[in-house]
Structure formats: C-alpha cells, structure tokens
A and B are shown apart, each in its own frame.
Chain A
Amino acid sequence: LAKTTQPISMDSYEGQEVNITCSHNNIATNDYITWYQQFPSQGPRFIIQGYKTKVTNEVASLFIPADRKSSTLSLPRVSLSDTAVYHCLSRPYNQGGKLIFGQGTELSVKP
C-alpha cells in the first residue's frame, strides 16, 4: 500500500529558501494536493493547494510535476516564525476516497 511520504525533519537558517517534497505516487486523477502548517499547541492551518504545475500565494509556492506523483512546497526566505510542522495531504485512488496526510516535516529555522 503506497504511502504519502515526506521527510521527518529539516533544518534551515533565516533568509534561506526551504523546499519540502512530498511523495504521493497513488494520487487520484482529479484530486488536488494541499499543504498545511502547524505551530505547537495549534491545529494545522491551510497554506496552499494545487493541481498541477506551479501555484504561488503570499506565503509559499507549490510545484507539481506533470506526473503529479510528488509535490514540493517552497518557502522563500524563511524566518524564525516559519518553524513549524508542514503536512501534505492528498487523496489516493485506492483508499476509499479518504484524504491521507504525509508524516509531517518538522522544520526548524535557526538564526
């Protein structure tokens, strides 16, 4: 059973660009990929969603290759306040319609 996978943790420094890749190689044909940000003691909150190619908003960019089996969340010039857990979410075609999260990537931004 294919899983939705992402790195468990990443370290970065302030001002750097951070890219977090999620593998979702059994994503349903028509479904979007969504990313969430979670601060300690809070619930996850939506940051970006896309179907294919590139999506950009005021917080992040999302890159999705043509085969849609992975996606990369890009955070430009991170600051200390970007320290959080980042979750990708997708709907596999073989999981009865359920949305499945990746394991979550704990990003630590250092000064």
Chain B
Amino acid sequence: DTAVSQTPKYLVTQMGNDKSIKCEQNLGHDTMYWYKQDSKKFLKIMFSYNNKELIINETVPNRFSPKSPDKAHLNLHINSLELGDSAVYFCASSQGASSANEKLFFGSGTQLSVL
C-alpha cells in the first residue's frame, strides 16, 4: 500500500483550463502539504492543512485552491492555468505539525505541463 498517493502522475493541458490533483494518505497523519518543485529542484511550500484546517497559505495566486474533505485527503484545484504553473507538484503528510522532529512523507509527484 502506498502511504501517500497522488493522481494523476502526469497532467498535460492547455492554458486557461481548470484542473485538479488529488492526494490521499493512509498513515493516519494529521497534517498534509502541497509543495511545488521547479526545474531547479527547489521544493517550495504552497499550503498546509492540519486536521482539515488551513494553517499555512504561502503567497500563491488565488487560482490555486486546496480542499481537505477529511484529514486523509488534500486536493489541489487550479483555475485558469498559466504557462508558469508548469512544475512538479508534491503532496506530503506528517504527524504533528510544528513538532521539533517533524518528518514529511511525500507522494510521487504530479508533473503538470501547461501548453
């Protein structure tokens, strides 16, 4: 069983479209994240949810809207896709946001290509 699973693995779409990426974790963790990885491999945090509550919301365009129906799921919806949105998006989870030895568990990523 995959601990953190996200779908789809690849997403190719046209500018202006709306798309969603889904994430589920079966680790029983309370906290889930979305990270964006650019072509230079830097992982930048976008959002964090703890028990379905938004706790971190970085300076992300409001075209990006996360939704957490329960603590095991954190989906990312993106409206009006732009070329600059092309990147790899990673979902992650952890037990205990803000704990001193917090460890993140990552999904395998969604490679988004906007044409």
Contact = CB atoms under 8 A, between A and B. Distances in A.
A41 B108 contact: yes
Contacts of A91: 98, 102
A11 B46 CA distance: 31
A106 B41 CA distance: 9
A42 B108 CA distance: 5
B105 A87 contact: no
Interface residues of A, number: 28
Main secondary structure of the interface of B (DSSP, over half): loop
Contact of A32 (B4, B56, B97, B100): B100
B109 interface: yes
Main secondary structure of the interface of A (DSSP, over half): loop
Given A98-B56, A101-B43, A106-B41, A43 B108 contact: yes
Interface in A77-101: 85, 87, 89, 91, 96-101
A74 interface: no
B23 to A, nearest CB: 11
Contacts of A101: 42-44
Interface of A: 8, 30-32, 34, 36, 38, 41-46, 49, 51, 85, 87, 89, 91, 96-101, 103-104, 106
What 3 A-B pairs are tightest by C-beta distance, nearest first? Answer: A43-B106, A104-B41, A101-B43
Given A96-B56, A104-B40, 5 more contacts: A34-B101, A43-B92, A44-B43, A51-B101, A98-B45
